[in-house]
Amino acid sequence: MTIPTEHSRRWNGYLLTWRLPMIVWQVLFFLVPLIFMVVLSFWLVKNYRMEPALVGINWSKMMSRDYFWDAYWRTLALAAGATVVTSLLAFPASFALAFKVSENARRWAVFLLIIPFFTSYIVRAYAWQVILAQSGVINSLFSMVGLGPYTMLNSAFGTIVGYLALTLPLVVVLQTFSLASIDRSLIEAAHNLGCGRIKTVFLVILPLAKIGFIVGALFCFILSFGDFVSPYYLGGSKPPTLSILIIDTTKSGQQWPRAAVVAVTMIVTLFIIAFTAVTLAYRKPGRT
């Protein structure tokens, strides 16, 4: 699509009215807070009050603590695990939606999947807490057939279920779009050349859908890495994830600079992962 005509090359009130608001708002209330948070990580806390400074003590203290690194690797592992699990569990569903149902059904499915994504995550997490509890819905059903009770909460399992509830709809939708936009004639060509159905999936379909799948996995990772609700309410909150660490440090400890250190570490990690993922996604074939 071509850019429409420049009505006037000059900067006029009209242009500025539309261009400025976002810039002003985002800088004031998005960029600056984030930059301030980084700055904050270098401040001192004396007698429960914060003082502007440029000291590395928050960093050195935090980085030397075992519980910090435990939390770091634990969060990373949980998020990575959730990403793998979600991507795998989403695939049969997205495959079905892209190839095995009518276009109308697919639209309805996406329509329905988008809804829970925009409803209160915290209430859904609470509901899962209730469903997975020792005497909750699932265990009651199991006891009716003489099984269980199984401990599902206060464990990595609970946390992963929570992450799934958060990210599964999004990943399914992203994968579906990706698969649905594949040129069907490529798949037919593969079959025509003797490639079996399952092999086609791995040799043709997935490489073609690579970008959408990687983007979906990336979003899943980012959301899981930063979430505190699932580890807190479904995972037992101990040992803590980085997000829980931030909350504890902020709410109870008032140690905002320390919390800032954790936050900055998280952002840097996410940035590196996102960068790697995008590079992988858009890398041209033939350079492997």
Partner 1 sequence: MSRDRSLLWFLRLYLLAVFGFVFAPIVASLVFSFNSDRFPTIPLGSFTFKWYVQVWGNESMREAMLNSVIVAAVVSVASTFIGFCTAYTDYRYRFFGKNLYLGLALLPPTIPLVIMGLAMLAWLSRIGLSGHIWSVMIAHTVMCSPFAMAVIRLRLAQMDENLEPAAWNLGATEWGAMRHVVLPFTMPAIVAALCLTAAVSFDEFAVAWFVSGINKTVPVVILEILQGNVDPQINAIGTFVFMTSMTLIVFAQVLLLTRQKKQVGTNE
Partner 2 sequence: MSEVLVEFDNAVKRFGSVEAVKRMNLEIYRGEFLALMGSSGCGKTTTLRMLAGLEKPTEGQVRLSGKEMNDVGAHERDTPMVWQSLALFPFLNARENVEFGLRMRGVKKAERSRRALEWLARMDIGDLAERDVAQLSGGQRQRVALARSLVTEPELLLLDEPLSALDANLVIRMQGVLTRLQRELGITFVYVTHSQSEAFAMANRIVIMNEGEIAQIGSPKEIYRTPSNRFVAQFVGRNNILTGEVTSQDGRSVSVRTELGEFNMPATAEASSLLGQSISFVVGADRVALNRQPRGSVNELSCQLISEEFIGSVVTLYLEAPDGTELKAQIQQRELDEINPEPGMSLWLSWEPSQTHILPH
Dist. CA 142–CA 63, nearest whole Å: 45
Say which DSSP state 43 is in: -
Contact between 149 and 135 under an 8 Å Cβ cutoff? The reply is yes
| 14 vs 285, beta carbon nearer partner 1 | 14
Structure tokens that stand for 130 in this block: 């209730």
Choose from partner 1, partner 2, none: what does 29 bind? Cβ within 5-8 Å by kind: partner 1
Pair 200, 178: CB distance under 8 Å: no
Site for partner 1 in 86-125 (CB under 8 A): 89-90, 92-93, 95-97, 100-101, 107, 109, 111-116, 118-125
Q: Using CB under 8 A as the criterion, what x/- string covers residues 22-51 for binding partner 1? A: xx-xxx-xxxxxx-xx--x-----------
Per 3-state DSSP, the chain is made up of helix, strand and coil in percentages (nearest 5) of 75, 0, 25
- CB distance 72 to 66 below 8 Å: no
Inter-residue contact 75 to 241 (CB < 8 Å): yes
Of the two residues 8 and 185, which places its CB atom closer to partner 2 in the complex?
8
- Kindly identify the residues of this chain, within the stretch 254-273, that bind partner 1 according to CB under 8 A: 256, 259-260, 263, 266-267, 270
Can residue 274 be called a binding residue for partner 1 (CB under 8 A)?
yes
Count of chain residues binding partner 2 (CB under 8 A): 4
Pick the piece of the chain touching partner 1 (CB under 8 A) from 55-63, 147-155, 204-212, 227-235.
227-235
Encoding tokens for residue 281?
Answer: 């996604």
Would you count residue 82 as binding partner 1 (CB under 8 A)?
A: no
Pick the stretch among 1-9, 54-62, 166-174, 218-226 that binds partner 2 (CB under 8 A): 1-9
Number of Cβ within a 10 Å radius of residue 101: 13
- Binding residues among 4-33 for partner 2 as defined by CB under 8 A: 5, 7-9
Close Cβ partners of 137 (under 8 Å, ≥ 6 residues apart): 130, 131
Q: Is 227 in the site for partner 1 (CB under 8 A)?
A: yes
Tokens matching residue 7: 């009505």
Shortest spacing between CB 8 and partner 2, in angstroms: 7
Q: Give the binding site for partner 2 (CB under 8 A).
A: 5, 7-9
